Amino acid sequence: MPNIEDVLSFACETAEKAGEILNDHYKNVKINYKGEKTIVTEADLLSEQYIKREIHKKYPNHEILAEESGHNGICPEKRWLIDPLDGTTNYAHGIPMFSVSIAYEEDGCTFCGVVHDPQRNKTYWAILGGEAFCNNEQIKVSSTEKLKNSLLGTGFPQDLSNCDDNNIQNFLNLVHEGEGVRRFGSAALDLCFVACGELDAFWEICLKPWDTAAGALIVMEAGGTVTDFKGMSFSPYLTQCLATNGKIHQEMLENLHETY
- Looking at residue 86, its pLDDT comes to 96
pTM: 0.94
- 225-259 pLDDT tens trace: 999 999 999 999 999 999 999 999 999 999 997 66
pLDDT score at 67: 74
Domains of the chain are 4-138 (3.30.540.10), 147-257 (3.40.190.80)
Q: How far is it, in rounded angstroms, from Cα 137 to Cα 123?
A: 10
Residues 6+ apart with CB under 8 A from 120: 96
Per-residue confidence (pLDDT) for residue 107, from 0 to 100? 94
CB proximity list for 148: less than 8 A, separation 6 or greater: 177, 178, 179
The CB density around residue 177, as the number of other CB atoms within 10 Å, is 17
> Among 187, 207, 205, 238, which residue's Cα sits nearest to residue 85?
187
* pLDDT at position 44 over 80: yes
pLDDT at 159: 66
